[in-house]
């Protein structure tokens, strides 16, 4: 890989946004397979690989997941979701690993021409509802789905949505010690 190619990829990584509105077009099988390979090769704490992935394309299941709580109603109109099911052995490290694999899926989706978003089930009762819909055993942890498809917009359609943008680096980076600017 050349530096130029690497810079193209990092430029695409900076364009990853949460997408909540999608065309109805299905995600091609070869693209889904590539995303699942990306997920499989994501690093995990002590290489435990504490996950199992459930690919959800059934409209009724997507609708049921969307009804777990109001902020994730947008899931119903997506063509695909991947539930991240964790072993349930170590909540702390598995939460970290869940974040790692989620971000990898979102970056991979962007690089493959898709958009994606994360939908959290919510509290324990809501998580139990998600597990019931997807047939997940009680001893496993499941808190979210990564939703994927061809986005129609990256604007948040929910009421009270916050505009995007990023803070300047000077506000969020210190060098050597907290609050120290670059020399």
Residues in the chain: 183
Cβ atoms within 10 Å, residue 180: 10
| Cα angle 122, 126, 131; round to 5 | 110
Domain segments of the chain: what residues? 15-153
Q: Which tops the pLDDT comparison, 183 or 103?
A: 103
**Range from 18-32, 77-91, 127-141, 142-156 carrying the lowest mean pLDDT:** 142-156
Q: Which CATH class is domain 15-153?
A: alpha beta
Q: Which two structure tokens, joined as six digits, stand for 145?
A: 């789905």
Instruction: Give the whole-angstrom CA distance, residue 51 versus residue 41.
Output: 11
pLDDT, residue 1, reads 83
- Quote the pTM value: 0.90
User: Is the pLDDT reported for residue 154 higher than 80?
Assistant: no
**Range from 3-12, 129-138, 152-161, 165-174 carrying the lowest mean pLDDT:** 152-161
Instruction: Give the whole-angstrom CA distance, residue 1 versus residue 51.
Output: 30
Please report, for residues 43, 115, 134, 151, 170, the alpha-carbon distance to residue 110 in angstroms, rounded to integers and kept in the order given: 19, 6, 26, 10, 27
Instruction: Give the whole-angstrom CA distance, residue 67 versus residue 145.
Output: 13
User: Is the pLDDT reported for residue 158 higher than 90?
Assistant: no
């Amino acid at each position: 890989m050349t530096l130029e190619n690497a810079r193209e990829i990092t430029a695409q990584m900076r364009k990853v946004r949460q997408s909540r509105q999608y065309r109805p077009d299905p995600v091609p099988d070869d693209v889904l397979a590539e995303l699942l390979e990306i997920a499989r090769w994501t690093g995990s704490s002590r290489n435990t690989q504490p996950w199992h992935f459930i690919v959800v394309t059934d409209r009724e299941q997507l609708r049921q997941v969307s009804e777990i709580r109001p902020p994730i109603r947008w899931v119903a109109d997506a063509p695909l979701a991947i539930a991240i099911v964790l072993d349930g052995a170590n909540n702390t490290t598995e939460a970290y690993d869940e974040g790692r694999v989620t971000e990898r899926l979102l970056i991979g989706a962007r690089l493959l021409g898709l958009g994606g978003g994360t939908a959290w089930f919510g509290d324990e009762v809501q998580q139990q509802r998600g597990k019931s819909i997807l047939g997940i055993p009680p001893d496993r942890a499941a808190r979210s789905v990564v939703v994927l498809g061809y986005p129609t917009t990256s604007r948040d359609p929910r009421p009270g949505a916050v505009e995007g943008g990023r803070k300047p680096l000077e506000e969020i980076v210190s060098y050597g010690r907290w609050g120290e600017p670059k020399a």
